[in-house]
């Protein structure tokens, strides 16, 4: 088989690494890829959002299966275009991708099907936002409705921060069209868990649990980011929590089926768990980043086979097999991220790494013989071990072998 993976980051590097292990696969192509992906796959100089060029490439190269990494091409309808051309692709169609393309769309779905979530109101102007938030207790969660690269969520601690955030999103268009509507939510407390599910025609098959770190600073302080680290498995589930999650997933399946969706791909369910009661924070419609980098090293099943079964509607929960190992991933990011940062700083990587370590590239590029940073999140160093503490130690040992004047990282991942 020939596989095409769409995307540029650490998630796509991890996907390419995993699918290349399948005995069915004879070649892996990644559009557009990065400096690390080039060692295991063929980079294709096509932007992930250039859908006509991607379709033409898949037809010319007789690609057997395409896997979509990022959300933007999904929301633009890449799956619809591939399927119209008779090509096999794994990801939700444009209609289903609205679950990530609009937070209001998702909240309405959750409420219609009585799926536990934070109370909310969607506003379309700054003045309406001020009026709605005046009666709410602090902190208040403010979410740009559309795609904002993981940065469109602010937990406002003061009335002044509420005003500044609404002004930035709605009057100064910080996130462009994504902030034309803002979802205002109550603040939930508890443990945040990422639950990624393979979806086969509205049937959800949960992967193992992962936990990620969204905040820019240690102790979960500072601005929201796309994710600066993670670990898997997450804490063991109590029986009542496991039952609560199963009930919640059944409600999602019923909602998808009853409303006439045909969702095949990945549904990322962000959960907040308080006193063993899960509530949905968000839906994403693709593999998470950095969750993918800590989940796939623990997946013993053939990912290509799982995807084929999902597309063919014959996936079974027993098809997913997991290693008992723990994994911890630490993201090295450009200094200044998630705000402004400098690019093209040289990075010196270790000449070799141990068998219980993995290094996935996020935002890197090779200029002549030098690897440089071109993104906010640059590398994900993953450690494996029989315990989370051991995996954490191996991850940070790898981090310390990476040399650059412009990289930083949180030191509390996996504690």
Same domain, 209 and 272: yes
Residue 85's domain spans which residues? Answer: 2-94
Q: How confident is the model at residue 224 (pLDDT cuts 50, 70, 90)?
A: confident
Q: Which domain CATH number covers 353?
A: 3.90.600.10
Query: How many CA atoms within 13 Å lie on the side-chain side of 295?
Result: 28
The DSSP code for 338 is T
Write down the pLDDT at residue 237. Answer: 62
Q: Is the CB of residue 230 less than 8 Å from the CB of residue 291?
A: yes
Write down the pLDDT at residue 43. Answer: 96
Give Cα separations from 57 to 45, 50, 62, 264 (angstroms): 10, 11, 8, 23
pLDDT at 240 over 90: no
User: First CA to last CA across the chain, in angstroms?
Assistant: 41
pLDDT at 238 over 70: no
As given in the structure block, the two tokens for residue 158 are 């003061």
Q: Which domain CATH number covers 86?
A: 3.40.50.20
Same domain, 310 and 332: no
Q: Is the CB of residue 287 less than 8 Å from the CB of residue 196?
A: yes
Rounded to an integer, the average pLDDT of 143-167 is: 92
Same domain, 172 and 195: no
- Cα 31 to Cα 140: distance, rounded to the nearest angstrom: 39
Q: What's the pLDDT tens digit per position in 29-86?
A: 999 999 999 889 999 999 999 999 999 999 999 999 999 999 999 999 999 999 999 9
Same domain, 172 and 208: no
**Among 16-20, 27-31, 148-152, 300-304, which is the least confidently predicted range?**
148-152
**CA dihedral for 19, 196, 233, 411, sign (positive or negative):** positive
Backbone φ, ψ for residue 139 (5° rounding): -75, 160
Q: Which domain CATH number covers 151?
A: 3.30.1490
Rounded to an integer, the average pLDDT of 178-195 is: 94
pTM of the full structure = 0.95
Same domain, 297 and 346: no
- Cα 101 to Cα 108: distance, rounded to the nearest angstrom: 13
**Among 15-19, 177-181, 251-255, 263-267, which is the least confidently predicted range?**
177-181
| Axis-axis angle for helices 126-134, 159-166 (nearest 10) | 160
Write down the pLDDT at residue 234. Answer: 84
Q: What is the DSSP string of 121-184?
A: EEESSHHHHHHHHHTSPSSEEEEESS--TT--EEEE-SHHHHHHHHIIIIIS-TTGGGGSSEEE
Inside any domain, residue 129: yes
Domains in the chain: how many in total? 4
Same domain, 353 and 374: yes
Q: Does residue 214 sit in helix, strand or coil?
A: coil
Same domain, 241 and 197: yes
Place of tokens 């509507």: 181
């Amino acid at each position: 088989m020939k596989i095409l993976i769409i995307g540029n980051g650490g998630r796509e590097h991890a996907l390419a690494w995993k699918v290349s292990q399948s005995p069915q696969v004879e070649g892996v192509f990644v559009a557009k890829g990065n400096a690390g992906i080039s060692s295991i796959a063929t980079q294709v100089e096509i932007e992930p959002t250039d859908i006509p060029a991607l379709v033409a490439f898949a037809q010319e190269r007789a690609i057997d299966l395409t896997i979509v990494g990022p959300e933007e091409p999904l929301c633009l309808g890449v799956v619809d275009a591939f399927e119209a051309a008779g090509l096999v692709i794994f990801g939700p169609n444009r209609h289903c991708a609205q679950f990530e393309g609009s937070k209001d769309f998702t909240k309405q779905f959750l409420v219609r099907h009585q799926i536990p979530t934070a109370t909310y109101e969607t506003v379309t102007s700054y003045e309406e936002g001020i009026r709605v938030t005046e009666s709410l207790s602090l902190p208040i969660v403010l979410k740009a409705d559309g795609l904002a690269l993981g940065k469109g969520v602010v937990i406002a601690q003061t009335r002044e921060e509420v005003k500044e955030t609404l002004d930035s999103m709605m009057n100064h268009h910080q996130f462009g069209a994504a902030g034309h509507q803002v979802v205002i939510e109550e603040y939930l407390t508890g443990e945040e868990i990422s639950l990624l599910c393979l979806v086969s025609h509205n049937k959800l098959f949960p992967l193992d649990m992962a936990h990620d770190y969204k905040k820019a600073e240690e102790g979960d302080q500072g601005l929201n980011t796309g994710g600066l680290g993670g670990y898997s498995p997450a804490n063991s589930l109590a029986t009542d929590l496991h039952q609560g999650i199963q009930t919640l997933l059944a409600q999602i399946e019923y909602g998808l089926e009853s409303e006439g969706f045909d969702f095949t791909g990945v549904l990322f369910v962000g959960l907040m768990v308080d006193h063993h009661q899960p509530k949905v924070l968000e839906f994403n419609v693709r593999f998470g980043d950095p969750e993918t980098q800590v989940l796939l090293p623990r997946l013993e099943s053939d990912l290509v086979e799982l995807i084929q079964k999902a597309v063919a509607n014959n996936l079974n929960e027993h098809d997913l097999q997991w290693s008992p190992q723990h994994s911890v991933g630490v993201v090295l990011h450009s200094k200044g991220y998630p705000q402004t940062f400098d690019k093209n700083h040289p990075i010196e990587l270790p000449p070799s790494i141990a068998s219980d370590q993995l290094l996935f590239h996020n935002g890197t590029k090779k200029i002549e013989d030098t690897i440089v940073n071109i993104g906010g999140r640059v590398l994900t160093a993953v450690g494996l071990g029989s315990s989370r503490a051991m995996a954490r130690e191996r991850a940070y040992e790898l981090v310390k072998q990476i040399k650059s004047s412009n990289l930083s990282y949180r030191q509390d991942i996996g504690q």
